[in-house]
Structure 1
């Protein structure tokens, strides 16, 4: 079991940060980091105690993801997605959950989803997946399709594949458990982004992949109550954990900046840059942004862990605000660090590149703001009464 106290998280963060720059340059996923997480019991953090895990909730998961992401961002991203998938599996009450949870704890097995597609884009924006799950004569399933941005390709043990059935009258959408070593899965090494370069978020092709009947977790008609309930779990955990990830990245950049400003003594100044009022003001602005982040993440995760719960709308807003604050904070850090901040021998520019990916990760700002605006405009308490002149 892993106890996410401040000391343990700091040690974990430093151990991952030691090789982060190398993985960023090489572009391959840091597999050794997964072994480190397994050794410490991090992969089973949210697994119930009865299944051998630590039984922690979203609040502790967010703290761990923030620390891991601050050390090495790609590892933090995959860990966040692993926790999201465990939450989804637990919510479906699937018989497969106990075994997958056990494997996460005992074997260090990692889960992730295959949802986005080249044509459909992010599943968060709606639309039916082009990936098809066809029932086979032996009672199993055959899955065919192309999935984009499969984070952790070559590291993930089991994929949760979003697909639709080929039923003539009513096509249903569901999640299928697919072992990553299944025959018919091919990795196209397409990932070449400016940030999260070590995430191995490649394109995966599924060509006649065969799985058993019990590989289907659940099938729903699009827009049904069951589909919305499953989506709600994904949105809450995804929103809060992505926020925690990018907040962790921003804090790592902030920490480097503070050391640099205290240590840097320009000859013309005769004192450290930390003594300059303008720079102090910028650092104060960074601190204000990160303070807002911490308050939002802590409040949201506590609500999610309580009986009151957390709405998907709230989680999406947290992700959007925290991510934008992270990007802004790192941009400010670059503005007062000069050439040193942009030098690839220092980590600040890498943290900035990684944080930019947060804007692309769903939910994106336009969908969050449109939903908030629509809800506000539709509030009956703020509409003009019919008899008002």
Structure 2
């Protein structure tokens, strides 16, 4: 890209609102309005469809910058970017099944990700939500989705469910399939709970969503896949895009924490060292350097993985280990760096008004996103050692 979509002035305004959103547990309404006006929600839309045509690497860079200003805003916008990024991934590979996502995003629709469910660690490979056929190629969805970011604002929701026979309707032909589809807010059958009162990432308002008959017509059903692991292009697109953009958000948190650690090391002074700034203290210098070394190793990994996806490199099933590992390394590194920054910055960071205190709470959310630490290790163990024998 020639110029960033996110100007420094825009990021400064977004940063100025982050603490208030967090304190009030409020949705980032003003941020979203400004990001929309800047064309940021159209980032992945190809130029032929009226968008700026950014690739995954470009958007990852922008998400690092946005997360440095307001992590919760970046995390929520991530979910919209996931769907437009998935559509772009397929579009570039000659699969036009999600072109409507790009076209609608160009017209201002806001997409959200409705896949996560309570006690479902299969994520893309299974579902507790019922997808009941309507007899015309469409489905109505019945289930409970959690961590639905952008809850107050989305207009389109990507959902996943398992086929079940409709009540007083058509039965199933063959084995049940996992159904990937999109429903609309105006179409009804959706109940968004006001239950988001969390430790961190508060402005994302990732509320619980009850699907109570939300209907996806046949032209919005994008896949019917057998349950279990799959290398279908849609699955690969979701997994790779989701993980890279998550890694970018948490890398942005780590980057900002390191910046604050440097500022605070220069600002704070030590009486035992004659009033010299802590930037001259060897222990503090070691902590800042340690955080810098850790962060320095993440940026090229994001560039490498995202760059290969942009270049249409085909790793097949190898993409699962590549991006799961990236996500875990990025989120875990960010947690360590934030911790180091707090140790450098002292007790003031323990106050709720402290930006570092907020980053400490926000970065914790990284351990809950798929792939979590256990899932990533299981994926690598299977790749390196083979499956567990029965």
1:75 to 69, 73, 78: 73
- Unmatched runs of 5 consecutive residues or more in structure 2: 165-171
Give the corresponding residue for 2:297: 292
1:251 equivalent among 236, 242, 255:
255
Pairing partner for 2:246 from 242, 249, 254:
242
Q: How many residues align?
A: 372
Give yes or no for contact 1:2–1:45 (8 Å, CA) kept in 2. no
Pairing 1:182-331 to 2, within 5 Å after superposition: 182-223=187-228, 228-268=232-272, 269-309=274-314, 311-331=319-339
Note closer, same or farther for the CA distance 1:228–1:101 as it changes in structure 2 (3 Å cut): closer
Q: Deviations over 1:313-358 (max 9, x none)?
A: 1111111111111100111111122211212222001111111111
The CA deviation at 1:373 is 2.7
Pairwise mapping of residues 105-144 of structure 1 onto structure 2 (< 5 A)?
105-107=106-108, 109-121=109-121, 123-124=123-124, 126=125, 128-136=126-134, 140-144=138-142
Q: CA deviation at 1:224?
A: 7.4
Deviation for aligned residue 1:3: 2.9
Aligned to 2:169: none
User: CA RMSD for the aligned pairs?
Assistant: 2.3
- Which residue, 171, 182, 190 being the options, matches 2:176? 171
Out of 358, 361, 385, the position equivalent to 1:377 is 385
Moved more, 207-216 or 47-56: 207-216
Report Cα offsets for 1:41-60 as digits up to 9, x if no partner: 11111111111111111100
* Contact kept? 1:10, 1:67, Cα under 8 Å: no
Structure 1 unaligned spans of 5+ = 380-389
SS state of the match for residue 206, structure 1? strand
Shift of 1:113: 1.6
Please state how far the C-alpha of 1:142 moved relative to its aligned partner: 2.1
Aligned position for 2:356: 348
2: distance between equivalents of 1:237 and 1:139?
28
Post-superposition Cα deviations, 1:45-98, rounded to whole Å, max 9, x if no partner, equal 111111111111110010011111111112211222212211333428455624
Moved more, 301-310 or 54-63: 301-310
Aligned position for 1:148:
146
Distance 2:104 2:243 in 1: 25
Q: Give the direction of change, closer, same or farther, for the CA distance of 1:210–1:371 in structure 2 (3 Å limit).
A: closer
2:84 corresponding residue in structure 1: 86
Q: Cα offset for 1:192?
A: 2.3
TM-score by length of 1: 0.89
- Equivalent-residue separation in structure 2 for 1:164 and 1:77 (angstroms): 27
Q: Distance in 2 between matches of 1:297 and 1:176?
A: 29
Offset of 1:2 from its aligned partner? Answer: 8.3
In structure 2, relative to structure 1, the CA distance for the partners of 1:39 and 1:364 (3 Å cut) is: same
Q: Which residue of 2 aligns with 1:386?
A: none
- For residues 36-51 of structure 1, what are the structure 2 equivalents within 5 Å? 36-51=34-49
Taking the aligned partners of 1:139 and 1:367, their CA distance within structure 2 comes to 34
Change (3 A) 1:120 1:245: same
Query: CA, structure 1 residues 316+140, in 2 after alignment: closer, same or farther (shift >3 Å)?
Result: closer
Partner SS, residue 117 of structure 2:
coil
Match of 1:97 in 2: 99
- SS, match of residue 3 in structure 2: coil
Whole-angstrom CA distance in 1 between matches of 2:344 and 2:361: 17
Aligned residue for 1:279, secondary structure, equals helix
